[in-house]
């Protein structure tokens, strides 16, 4: 069953309201919290076949390797300066 963004947020806000004991005057807070949670879910959502997640992990691996190589270069430069 597919829900629209607004449906999901409304249902989550209602659940937050119930979890807090149905307090008065907090509907805006619950809706904003639900909207933030929805945004986080969207940011972490992967495609059905996992392709997006695989691409992100590969990109992260490339980034980490480039950072590691820069740190090695910086270390070598620092050692050369220290020995000079």
CA-based torsion, 12, 13, 16, 22: positive or negative: negative
pTM of the model: 0.51
Nearest to 5 by CA among 30, 33, 42: 42
Residue 78 confidence (pLDDT) = 64
Residue 71 confidence (pLDDT) = 63
- Assess contact for 9 and 35: CB atoms under 8 A: yes
d(CA 3, CA 46): 17
- Of the candidate ranges 34-38, 46-50, 53-57, the one whose mean pLDDT is the lowest: 46-50
Residue with tokens 């809706």: 31
């Amino acid at each position: 069953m597919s829900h629209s963004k607004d449906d999901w947020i409304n249902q989550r806000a209602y659940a937050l309201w119930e979890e807090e004991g149905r307090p008065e005057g907090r509907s805006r807070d619950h809706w904003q919290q639900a909207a933030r949670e929805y945004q986080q879910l969207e940011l972490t959502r992967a495609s059905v076949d996992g392709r997006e997640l695989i691409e992100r992990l590969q990109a992260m691996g490339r980034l980490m390797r480039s950072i590691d190589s820069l740190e090695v270069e910086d270390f070598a430069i620092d050692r050369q300066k220290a020995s000079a």
